[in-house]
Amino acid sequence: MQKLQFEALRRIGLTLAVAQELIHLLEQHPGCIPVRVTEVHRETVRLDDGTQDLPARRMPSLARGLADQDDAVAVGDWGLARCDAHGDWWLTHCLQPFSALVRRDGDGLRHIVVSNVDTALLVMGLDLDFSLRRIERFLALVQASGVRPVVVLSKPDLCADMPRALAQLQARLPADVPHVVLDGRNAAAAEVLAPWLAPAQTLVLLGSSGAGKSTLANTLMGHAVQETGATREGDGRGRHTTTSRSLHRLPGGACLIDTPGVRTLRPDASEASLAASFNDVARLSLQCRFRDCQHRGEPGCAVREGVDGDRLNNFHKLQREMRRDTLTALERRQQLSEWKARGRAGRANLRAKRGE
């Protein structure tokens, strides 16, 4: 049986829990070696066994098995690989991830962003990228996945009023979510993030294009691993310099996953996880006059009185998305028919008022 090279694998994020699962799997498949997925492409994957980078393909049986479960290989996965007689590497097995960041697409289907992550660095620029609604959306995604969030405010040199921006952020963030301000180009960024960069820890960078994720990744690595680009002058939006997710080893022993920038996403959240992200809404709802208060137009609503109006609107929007994602295909069609009927009725009333 292939022995587990613990120290080598620890450099790519091996934990005791993962090691136990890998040992059990190796006992069943002695011709394989333990690996971690560092990149995923349409036809191929890149693996790391702690000592070398291995280009590989997914074993068809693995791909079929995951597809049957509406799942797929993701960056950060742990598994087994073997080399065939022609010298080609194959990813044969994947462990069930201990944590996974999952988003929903427009049809409500689930997609794994990354797996086996300890901390998510939510990067947001203090320029035109600054958006409290977006950071709340990222928090809902991360906290629904059981991953620790850290809000990273970049580009402080472009902020016209730092105290005001920080006050706005602190008013909207849950008290247990830390936030830091740093210049992603400065080597001191590693010192600021040191509490989350311990050996064998895995972090993921999330944020919109142009927020400074790739710049921060290059700084933490000590050399350029990702291309960087300037933002547009008109709206501060960045260009997609990072086009795929990739896992990198940091000098101090942690691992970092960089991801392409996104400005909008739909978290795979539940009622409970959404309440954790908006704990002020959950706490104040206990003081509402009505137990089933929706925090809209009901009298005696403590939430509307105590929560910022924009934050509450964002909560309602995420709540609608979450409930829509749980609908069946038939329920979606019925809902669409109702919306169309309301639209036709509204247009008919408008024509009647105009005397048309």
Confidence band for 60, pLDDT divided at 50, 70 and 90: very high
Tens digit of each residue's pLDDT (9 = 90 or more) over 106-150: 666 788 889 999 999 999 999 988 899 999 988 988 988 889 999
CATH number of this structure's domain 6-94, picked from the four choices 2.40.50.140, 2.50.20.10, 2.40.170.20, 3.40.430.10? 2.40.50.140
SS (H, E, C) 135-151: HHHHHHHHHHCCCEEEE
Please report where in the chains the tokens 């996953």 appear, as a residue. Answer: 257
pLDDT of residue 227: 55
SS3 (DSSP) at 327: coil
Does residue 30 contact residue 1 with C-beta atoms inside 8 Å? yes
- Strands, sheet with 266-267, edge to edge from the N-terminal-most edge strand: 110-115, 100-104, 266-267
Tens digit of each residue's pLDDT (9 = 90 or more) over 286-326: 999 998 899 988 899 999 999 989 999 998 888 888 777 66
Tens digit of each residue's pLDDT (9 = 90 or more) over 200-251: 999 999 998 888 898 999 999 987 665 554 444 444 444 445 557 899 999 9
**Domain segments of the chain: what residues?**
6-94, 100-258, 327-356
Position 2 pLDDT exceeds 60: no
Q: Average pLDDT, whole number, for the chain?
A: 86
Q: Which two tokens stand for residue 12?
A: 């790519």
110-115 and 100-104 strand pairing? antiparallel
255-258 and 246-249 strand pairing? antiparallel
Cβ-based neighbours of 86, under 8 Å, separated by 6 or more: none
CA distances from 355 to 1, 342, 343, 347, 349 (A): 84, 20, 18, 12, 10
pLDDT of residue 57: 96
Q: How far is the C-alpha of 284 from the C-alpha of 295, rounded, in Å?
A: 10
Tens digit of each residue's pLDDT (9 = 90 or more) over 73-109: 999 999 999 999 999 999 999 999 999 998 877 666 7
pLDDT of residue 61: 94
Q: How far is the C-alpha of 141 from the C-alpha of 148, rounded, in Å?
A: 11
Topology given in CATH for the domain delimited by 100-258: Rossmann fold (3.40.50)
Going along the chain, which residue ranges are E strands?
33-40, 45-48, 53-58, 78-83, 89-94, 100-104, 110-115, 119-125, 148-154, 179-181, 202-207, 246-249, 255-258, 266-267
Closest CA to 275 of 315, 317, 325: 315
The amino acid present at 200, given as its one-letter code, is A
Q: How far is the C-alpha of 179 from the C-alpha of 14, rounded, in Å?
A: 27
Does residue 117 contact residue 76 with C-beta atoms inside 8 Å? yes
Of 16 and 336, the one with more pLDDT: 16
DSSP category for residue 65 = H
- The residues facing 206 across adjacent strands are 122
Percent of the chain having pLDDT more than 70? Answer: 88
pLDDT of residue 238: 45
Tens digit of each residue's pLDDT (9 = 90 or more) over 253-285: 999 999 886 655 677 777 777 877 888 888 899
